[in-house]
């Protein structure tokens, strides 16, 4: 059974690959969305992150296999470079993101007014109009829109 370090590594990798270049608050909110989904569903981080149609980065099965191989070899979180993170990452960025993911997972409170967010996406990927799960009770942070509203069909949103 995977341990805490593995789950935090998955959350940190997701933040890096989904929110690279976003402001610190946007990166932190990606971690909060993941943790909110874990808490709401009662599932572990791996199950939440690997659900089809949820986090685009994990649709890459080759990347998933690299992560599993690195974890099985005991190389995570100390050596995330074994995964071959698309675009690479510096040691400073890795440990900063990993520490933030750990703090959020351990219960760091969500920023005021941003509590309970369950979905996020970049609206630029929806030029024909936003889907229902990106409307309603949402906040824009950087290039991402974070939403908490319970909307029918939202289970198909990121």
Report the run of H or E that residue 144 belongs to, with start and end.
Answer: strand 144-147
Q: For residue 1, is pLDDT > 70? A: no
Q: For residue 100, is pLDDT > 60? A: yes
Long-range contacts of 53-58 (CB under 8 A, 24+ apart): 53/156, 54/157, 54/158, 55/14, 55/18, 55/158, 56/18, 56/158, 57/13, 57/14, 57/17, 57/18, 58/14
Number of residues that this document lists for the chain: 158
Residue 149 binned pLDDT confidence (cut-offs 50, 70, 90): low
Domain ranges of the chain: 4-113
The per-residue pLDDT for range 15-33, each reduced to its tens digit, is 999 999 999 999 999 999 9
């Amino acid at each position: 059974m995977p341990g805490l370090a593995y789950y935090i590594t998955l959350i940190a990798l997701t933040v890096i690959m989904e929110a690279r270049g976003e402001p610190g608050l946007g990166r932190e909110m990606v971690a909060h969305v993941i943790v909110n989904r874990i808490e709401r569903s009662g599932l572990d981080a791996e199950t939440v992150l690997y659900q089809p149609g949820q986090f685009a980065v994990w649709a890459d099965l080759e990347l998933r296999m690299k992560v599993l191989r690195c974890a099985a070899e005991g190389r995570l979180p100390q050596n995330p470079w074994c995964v071959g993170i698309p675009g690479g990452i510096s040691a400073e960025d890795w440990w900063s993101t990993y520490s933030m993911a750990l703090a959020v997972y351990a219960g760091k409170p969500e920023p005021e007014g941003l509590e309970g967010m369950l979905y996020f996406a970049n609206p630029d990927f929806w030029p024909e109009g936003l889907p229902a799960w990106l409307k309603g009770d949402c906040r824009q942070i950087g290039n991402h829109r974070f939403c908490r509203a319970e909307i029918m069909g939202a289970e198909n949103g990121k």
